[in-house]
Structure 1
Amino acid sequence: MEETRFEIRIPCDDDGFILLRCPRCGELFKLTAEDMESNETLDIYCPSCGLCANNFLTQDVIGLALAKTSNYAMDAIAQQLQAFAKKNSSGLVRFEVKANREREPEPPIRAAIEALQIVTCHDCGREAKVPPALAMSAYTCPLCGIGQFNER
């Protein structure tokens, strides 16, 4: 079986940050694409609960990925069934395929407007966007995992 890859573009906000969501606590935060893809970034941490996870995708991204794969799979199945029906059309038993299913909608992902504040880590020096309540008190740096405290 051949391998198929889909590209899903996640839009950045005006400052170049991508929206992420913690799978454990649901906190929203943003990182730049450059920081996420950098070799310096070993793990990503939730700024609220400190969870280190493999997947911080939002529901919009997950929903689009599921719709794309469902549509691809159903189209591939329909093609295989039609090829089988065409190959076996001259025998005593006929096989007919009528594929008229509705495709899953694939809505584009929009850059969500969130009231997040840019913060700079005192340890790694990189920026992230976190909720204002975390920025004013304490948060975990999403890029290095070290706790940050407001010194004001």
Structure 2
Amino acid sequence: MSDIEMNLPFPLDDNGYFRRECPFCCKEFKVLLEKEELTDLAQKGLDSFMVETQEATNLDEDEHSEVEFTCPYCGQAAVSGNWWTQEQLAYISVVTKNIMAKIVNENLIRPLKRTSRKYGSGMISVQFEGKEMEQQEPWISPEVNDMKVYDLPCCQRKIKVEDGWASRVFCFFCGFPH
């Protein structure tokens, strides 16, 4: 099967920050990403829902270690694909289900509906009556302008943390505690 690539837009706040969620403490924060980083992240999100790609990724895990990021709040590290918010995962899920439905409808359901076969002397006829898979409209909430900016001097990057957060902040990119 051929690769499926598409531009999957995610909402950013007015300053270009992208929302993330820690897989351990479940707190949300935002990171300021370059356009290429965001595009790569969106494609990896889609790929993680594709069965064929997921199997290939699992086979290659030992050979290629993924980049780990660190939670600004609890300091736990996890690979890049583990930082999705629940809403982002639901959005990606709808998009991938729509891709699957389109492929099944175009390559299986519609061709079978057009086909009826007669076997032998015309006594047996096979006709397919199937319903096309429905698609949902993918939707994700617009990003709000919340949280306070925190400069990470170690990596020369910025993140946003909860407004009331007064404890130590770990760098999302290198894990250094500030």
TM over 0.5: yes
Deviation (angstroms), 1:142: 1.2
Pick the structure with more helix per residue: 2
Aligned CA distance change for structure 1 residues 125 and 4 (closer, same or farther; 3 Å) = closer
How many angstroms apart in 2 are the aligned matches of 1:36 and 1:51? 25
User: Cα 1:123–1:85, aligned 2, differ >3 Å: closer, same or farther?
Assistant: closer
What are the equivalent positions in structure 2 for 1:83-122 lying under 5 Å apart?
A: 83-87=111-115, 89-91=116-118, 92-99=124-131, 101-114=133-146, 116-122=147-153
CA offset at residue 36 of structure 1? Answer: 8.2
Residue in structure 2 matched with residue 9 of structure 1 by the alignment: 9
Equivalent position of 2:41 in the other structure? none
| 1:125, distance to aligned residue in structure 2 (A) | 3.2
1:59-95 Cα shifts (integer Å, max 9, x gaps): 22211111111122123223313313434x1312222
Give the TM-score normalised by the residue count of structure 2: 0.68
CA drift of 1:100 comes to 5.0
Percent identity over the alignment is: 23
Q: Which residue of 1 aligns with 2:100?
A: 73
Shift of the 118–82 alpha-carbon distance from structure 1 to 2, 3 Å rule, reads same
Q: Distance in 2 between matches of 1:81 and 1:124?
A: 52
Contact 1:19–1:112 under 8 Å retained in 2: no
Q: Which runs of 5+ in 1 are unaligned?
A: none
Superposition RMSD in Å: 2.5
What pairs with 1:1-152 in structure 2 (closer than 5 Å)? 1-34=1-34, 37=37, 43-53=68-78, 54=80, 55-79=82-106, 80-87=108-115, 89-91=116-118, 92-99=124-131, 101-114=133-146, 116-134=147-165, 136-148=166-178
Which letter does structure 2 place at the counterpart of 1:120? D
Tell me if structure 1 keeps the 8 A contact 2:109–2:131.
Answer: no
Q: Distance in 2 between matches of 1:139 and 1:76?
A: 45
What count of residue pairs does the alignment treat as equivalent?
A: 142
Consecutive unaligned residues of structure 2, counting only runs of 5 or more, are 39-66, 119-123
User: Matches of 1:2 and 1:147 in 2, distance apart?
Assistant: 43
